[in-house]
A = this chain, B = another copy of it.
Amino acid sequence: MPDMIAVERALDLVLEAARPLPPIVADLADLPGRILLEEIRADRDVPSWDKSLMDGFAVAAADLGRGKEVAIAATIAAGADPGALAALPPGQAARIMTGAPLPRGADAVIPVERSRAGSQPDRTALQGPVRPGENVARRGDDVREGAVLLEPGDFLGAAEIAVLAACGRIRARAGGRPRVAVLATGDELVPPGEEPGPGRLRNSNGPMLEALARRAGAEVRDLGIARDDEEDLRRAIASGLDADVLLLSGGVSMGLYDLVGGALRSAGAEVLFERVAIRPGKPFTFARRGGTLVFGCPGNPVSSYVIFQVFARPALRRLASHPTPVWRMQPGRLASPIRQKPGRAGYVQARAVFRDGRLDVEPVPTSGSADLVSCARGNALAIVPAEAASLPAGSDVAVILLDDHGDR
């Protein structure tokens, strides 16, 4: 019987095997959600010219005093060429729009709300006083040319996309997107759209692992169901080994027809471990062949779910160059006790809710590792250390806040 290893050791082995994919150069539309792999510097000062922050009238502050009626010398729109503007004549004002360049001779803007029509159509009555620089942004106030705006390892959310666009970077170097193949195994399985005969059941692991891998940012290919037959299994596995990650479910237990370990070895894969001290999910086979990682998840759906979240998701994130591939654990307070047989770390489906600034964690009632509904009702995994026989209500508990459950 293969040795059982601790969760931490298994995760170390998985992350060691998961090397970041080669960087790609992607278009702006394909960058959101990826990890940036280059430094982005400002290609110019922002703003690139002294500009008005309001719609109003550009003046020389010293001219205005407590306010006066002045001639309107010009109208300046956003988009005007700063170099082509006439200087503001002393004692006059220029009508100016938000974002428009400030004319030479002006150093402040009176907002339109502080103006009234003048005695002539080309005059306006302005309310003072105004400080020099008021409602004006100076060239470079936001960003200096050459300043580092984004760094390698930054997650590309919408704001980062806007920074790239503002710098004219319609392409950037970023982390790859892992290609995942999903294969369910077992003579008892029928596709979800078929009526299962006696002794059969529908393949739910396949669609679940597909959804999980997509959610983690992967491109996913479904390989369907392989029979408990060495030849069929070997063929199916071979067709998945050109992916970056092959997610298998079933066939990793100790039964006569648990052929996955053997089929992987005969396909030339190195099996790194076959049993992990985790509940659910103990019979979890991890292997690699060349650059392909193989996660042999147990056939029980909740076990497959937990193995994906605890091991496969960190691997996918590392392949995609995430600087923090592993879930960050959050400290929570347990609302009801959890009991377990010591020896394996428990990853318990739970509902975690922030309440009064604290994370309350309520384990979800379950009938066992086939109980998908408990999985759907939870939004977190509460972690019970391997050596613990129980965690009483009110005790501190480490929690993984899953990202696939709508709101918290």
Contact = CB atoms under 8 A, between A and B. Distances in A.
Nearest to A49: B199
A154 interface: yes
Given A137-B368, A198-B83, A367-B142, A32 B215 contact: yes
Nearest to A214: B32
A162 B406 contact: no
Contacts of A210: 29, 161
Select the residue from A98, A256, A330, A405 with max chain B CB neighbours within 10 A: A98
Nearest to A258: B55
B256 A75 contact: yes
Interface in A364-408: 367-368, 370-373, 375-376, 378, 402, 404-408
The size class of the interface chain A forms with chain B is 35 or more
Contact of A98 (B196, B253, B405): B253
Nearest to A162: B208
A127 interface: no
Nearest to A353: B328
Given A192-B168, A322-B406, A158 B208 contact: yes
B192 A170 contact: yes
Interface of A: 1, 28-29, 32, 46-49, 53, 55, 75, 77-84, 95, 97-101, 112-113, 137, 141-143, 149-150, 154-155, 157-170, 186-189, 192-212, 214-215, 228, 253-258, 299, 301, 305, 322, 324, 328, 330-333, 354, 356-359, 367-368, 370-373, 375-376, 378, 402, 404-408
